[in-house]
Structure 1
Amino acid sequence: MKKVKLLYRLLIFINLATFVLIVTQIFGLVIPDIVNSSQTKNHALGAFNNLILTGLLSVILMGSFKIQQGIKHIIKDGFFNRISELKFRKAGLIFVGFALLRTAYIILARNEFKLNELINSFIMAFLVVLVGMGLLIFSDFIKNGGVIKEENDLTI
């Protein structure tokens, strides 16, 4: 349980750092881009390029926060509980959704990427899909383990 608590604390730190990064990005990049929209015509999405990237980062933050909540309930209620299962399932769906949104962004802005950056971006999106699928599978393990635990408790 020590490692789970350490992971929980690490996720709190990462989520807070990501939140600070998002706020900094909004005030340092998004607002100036929208105010000075005439200077960002070299991007495929124009003045909204950094806004979209900040939105994608916010989606990742939501998924990470759901994982943090799931781990919190594992610490609080034990490994096999319904709330953790739902939190990990939502996190998995959010990560898969992020990967689809990121892929759409890559396709829209493909002219801005060099070939190796384009390939790396698609690979990263694929890896995020794998993380999302892993979270969905993990939530099924928690669900099935909870059912087995409940049946075991009834027979004793």
Structure 2
Amino acid sequence: MKNINLLYKLLLFINILFLILLLVLIVILVIPDFLYQKPHDDKVLGIFNHLVIFCRGLLLFMGLFKIQQALKAIIKYGFYNKVSEVRFKKGGLFLILFGVIGFIFNIIIKSELELNVFITNFVQYFFVLLVGLGLFVFSDFIKSGTILKEENDLTI
């Protein structure tokens, strides 16, 4: 339980920093793009480039936040509980969405990237997708463990 508590605190710190980064991104890049209608001729998505980057970051933040909430539920209610199962599943869903949208975004902006950056981005999105799928599997383990725990509690 000590390691889960440490992981929860680390994720809390990362999420706070990530939220600050997202706020700075929206204030410095996204809002001025729409207020001043800055043309971005060098970007494939033009004026919407920073908005898409912000939305992808928001998906990643939501995934990490759901994982943080699931860890908090484990600390509060024990390892096998319905709350952590649902939150891990939602966190996995957000990470899967982030990975899939990352693949699509990477393909759209491939003309702006060097080959090594293009391939590195694909590898990173693939690993995020695997983590999201892993969270789905992990939530099923928690669900099975919760059912076994309930049955065990009923027999005692």
TM-score exceeds 0.5: yes
Q: In the comparison of the two structures, how many residue pairs are matched?
A: 156
RMSD: 1.2
Match of 2:89 in 1: 89
1:142 and 2:138 correspond: no
| Counterpart code for 1:71 | L
1:137 partner letter: V
Q: Normalising by structure 1, what TM-score?
A: 0.95
TM-score of the superposition, structure 2-length normalised? 0.95
What is the deviation of 1:131? 0.4
Q: Aligned runs of 1:1-156 on 2, under 5 Å? A: 1-156=1-156
- 1:90-124 deviation per Cα after TM superposition (whole angstroms, max 9, x unaligned): 11111111111111111111111111111111111
Letter in 2 for 1:77: Y
Letter in 1 for 2:92: G
For residues 108 and 35 of structure 1, what CA distance do their matches in structure 2 show?
25
Q: Name stretches of at least 5 consecutive residues in structure 1 with no aligned partner.
A: none
* Shift of residue 155, structure 1, vs aligned partner: 2.0
1:86 is paired with a residue whose SS is helix
1:59/1:94 contact within 8 Å kept: yes
Identity of aligned residues (%): 46
Q: Counterparts of 2:12 and 2:82 in 1: how far apart (Å)?
A: 22
Structure 2: runs of 5+ lacking an equivalent: none
**How many angstroms apart in 1 are the aligned matches of 2:12 and 2:92?**
18
Query: How far apart are residue 31 of structure 1 and its match?
Result: 2.2
